[in-house]
Chains A and B, each alone.
Chain A
Amino acid sequence: MPGEIQLEELTKAFGEHMAVAGIDVDMPPGEFFTLLGPSGCGKTTTLRMIAGFERPTSGRILLDGNDVANTPPHQRNVNTVFQSYALFPHLDVAKNVAFGLKYHKLGKEERAKRVGEALELVNLTEYAHRKADQLSGGQQQRVALARALVLRPRVLLLDEPLGALDAQLRKNLQVELKALQAELGITFVFVTHDQEEALTMSDRIAVMNKGLVEQAASPRSIYEEPTTVFVAEFLGVSNLLEAEAVGREGASCAVRIGDRVFRCGQGALDAVGEVKVMIRPERIVIEPHAQTGDERLPGIVERSVFLGGSHEVHVRVLGGELMKATVANDGAPPPVSLEPGAAVSLRLPPEALRVLRPSEAGTEEAADEEETMHVRVTDDQLSATAPPSAAP
């Protein structure tokens, strides 16, 4: 199946600034591939290099084995859905969709048929003779999609195509886009900064940071098995603890957090020395303070927010770190008091504890920024959702 993209040692410098600092990525044919990262991470520049709008400073872009790095965009068999859609305002919907067919050797009837099919695919047949600016945002997005897909590209590039739409429409289109991709079997390369969107739609995600790919894997691996602190922080909520790895013990790694030793069953088990230990909030078990023993960290509840399906509990643990734990709501009142000030014990099961090696200086710095941002966001959510009486 055609539509494979391989990026080899790809770099792009804008003056002194390295927007893309040497990435190697394989995008298998027929997959929904997402480039995910914060703004300025190089994901859009990467997409623009694949499209041909930017020329790489070095490296290769292989489309089905042929290096297209220096092929101008109009000669590449890839098409783009722009963030702003870039529909031609002087043409109606049908003429927008037909625009690129001029460069395919097609008869007049064949051309009309293809336009009709493309409009049908996106449910816009009755809008064929509207001007682009007479359509809603969601409809414009569909026209942009039809205009690209009518050319039957080997790869479709999508640059945050849902960014300008409201939340509800966004959710619907996420599902539709994914279904469309599965139906057509075309490779989609999707750029987004929205981790939820990436997890929902992708077959494979490459998390980018500062011009480099931190990790490329399936959504499940990215979430469950992050290999770097940045990835752990960027997707979902993570608790990260400073720890010292003291050595491997069979299938686990012993780490010292404060004066306690924990066993970690995931991640870089061979690490020794300064590491970070990560655990997702939903994997932490909250127990009464009386519980002691291995795998447990005592703490005091600082805040507790009822979110309907779960409670989000912030616990200040021994050693001063703030940890977030999620307690599922099973209908019964929680077995442990989650009121602010309650003393609890957090059980950190070995199979949920993940050892992350300290990153390079650059990444760590970014992770720190990310952390503060995270805390702030969570605080905002807390104050927004907590009833006034629960606020400290």
Chain B
Amino acid sequence: MTWLRNPWGKPRWLALITGIYVLWAVVPVLIAIAFAFNAGRSRTTWQGFSLRWFTGETGSVLHDPALRDALEHTLLLAVICVAVAVPLGVALALGLQRWRGRGSGSVNSLMLLPLVTPEIVMGVALLLLFLRVFPGIGLGTEAQAIGQVTFTLSYVVVIVRGRLVSIGPEYEEAAADLGAPPRDQLFRVLLPLLAPAIVASAAVAFAISIDDFVVTQYLSSDASTTTVSMLLYSNARGAPTPALNAIATVGLVITLATLAAAFFVYRRFAGGKEATSLATLEV
């Protein structure tokens, strides 16, 4: 154990353990992705490279109606979720930041609640809500969208508020001092300064929506409201083909691309330090 006593030595053990962990976490995913390109029907035996499960005539992501519909529905939900959760979350963050009175502290803590509530609890609660309290809405796309917005909103608020805190009140004061009325303080100064955080929170909301399974599953109605994650779950143990790997790969690529784009936008406009903390949050 000399490495413990030698502060100048290279931390070889740490590097080794980290390396093993990364392999353990990444290799199964890479194997799953690889079999998306398998020429045969097997998900365990390599039979040559092919794109048939992505674009082939039958049973591919592009041409199998069930797979294609699931992908479309997933993207539809994600777009709705971003379109609703981001403006709402930005408004909430601004409101919470300004509101310094009785109750603002508890509301702040409440905003974090959806982040720590087990998703299954939230799923069950929302299911009961739509069945008993708002039967008019019923299960299906609307309920799924509302459910996803409910918990992605918290991420938007947390990210935007973080940026608001680091911006501080001075820029608004400076704008007011230079003659800008409150509306211009918001649109000429505050929103441009918040832009990186807004983009980042949109990406996070998008990625979370695509990846979500529990809430989306609970609030689904029929086959037309099946998402990619639901499809993967229900077919994984049935009669799977590499098409499932293919659709999972598509979902993964969309998620990663969105997050990477957000990360770069944020780092470009808000400085490296905050981007790092954002990356931690996403994980």
> Which residue numbers of A lie inside 8 Å of B, CB to CB?
51-53, 72-75, 79-80, 82, 84, 86-90, 99-100, 102-104, 147-148, 151
Contact = CB atoms under 8 A, between A and B. Distances in A.
Contact of B192 (A86, A90, A151): A90
Contact of A89 (B173, B176, B179, B193): B193
Contact of A82 (B173, B181, B182, B184): B173
B180 interface: yes
Given A100-B178, A100-B179, A100-B180, 19 more contacts: A51-B177, A52-B177, A72-B176, A73-B173, A74-B175, A74-B177, A79-B177, A82-B174, A86-B170, A88-B175, A88-B189, A90-B192, A90-B193, A90-B195, A99-B175, A102-B179, A104-B179, A147-B178, A151-B178
24 contacts: A51-B173, A53-B173, A72-B176, A73-B173, A73-B176, A74-B175, A74-B178, A80-B174, A80-B177, A82-B174, A86-B174, A88-B171, A90-B195, A99-B180, A100-B178, A102-B179, A102-B180, A103-B178, A104-B179, A147-B178, A148-B177, A148-B178, A151-B178, A151-B179
Contacts of A53: 173, 176-177
A88 B178 CA distance: 12
Interface residues of B, number: 18
A72 B184 CA distance: 14
A89 B179 CA distance: 18
Contacts of B184: 102
Contacts of B193: 88-90
A88 B189 CA distance: 7
Q: Please name the 6 residue pairs, one residue from A and one from B, whose CB atoms are nearest each other, closest first.
A: A100-B178, A103-B179, A86-B174, A86-B170, A73-B176, A90-B192
Contacts of A73: 173, 176-177
Contacts of B195: 90
Interface string B172-204: 011111111110100011001101000000000
A277 B193 CA distance: 56
A279 to B, nearest CB: 44
Central interface residue in B171, B178, B181, B192, by most chain A CB within 10 Å: B178
A86 B177 CA distance: 11
Given A88-B189, A90-B193, A74 B179 contact: yes
B249 to A, nearest CB: 38
Contacts of A103: 178-180
Nearest to B179: A103
A80 B192 CA distance: 22
Contacts of A147: 178
Nearest to B193: A90
A75 B184 CA distance: 13
Nearest to B177: A80
Contacts of A52: 176-177
A99 B178 contact: yes
Contacts of B188: 99
B170 A82 contact: yes
Nearest to B270: A89
Contacts of B180: 74, 99-100, 102-103
Nearest to B196: A90
A51 B173 CA distance: 9
Nearest to B188: A99
B146 to A, nearest CB: 34
Nearest to A157: B177
A79 B192 contact: no
A151 B171 CA distance: 17
Contacts of B174: 80, 82, 86-88
Contacts of B177: 51-53, 73-74, 79-80, 148
A76 to B, nearest CB: 8
B181 A74 contact: yes
Interface in B87-104: none
Contacts of B192: 90
Contacts of B170: 82, 84, 86
Contacts of A148: 177-178
A321 B188 CA distance: 61
A212 to B, nearest CB: 26
B215 to A, nearest CB: 36
Nearest to A84: B170
A84 B189 CA distance: 16
Contacts of A80: 173-174, 177
A369 B89 CA distance: 49
Nearest to B174: A86
B173 A86 contact: yes
A99 B175 CA distance: 8
Contacts of A74: 175-182
Interface in B193-223: 193, 195
Contacts of B178: 74, 79, 99-100, 103, 147-148, 151
A53 to B, nearest CB: 5
Nearest to A78: B177
Contacts of A72: 176
Nearest to B169: A53
A151 to B, nearest CB: 7
Contacts of B171: 86, 88
B229 to A, nearest CB: 38
Nearest to A75: B179
A73 B172 CA distance: 11
Nearest to A53: B173
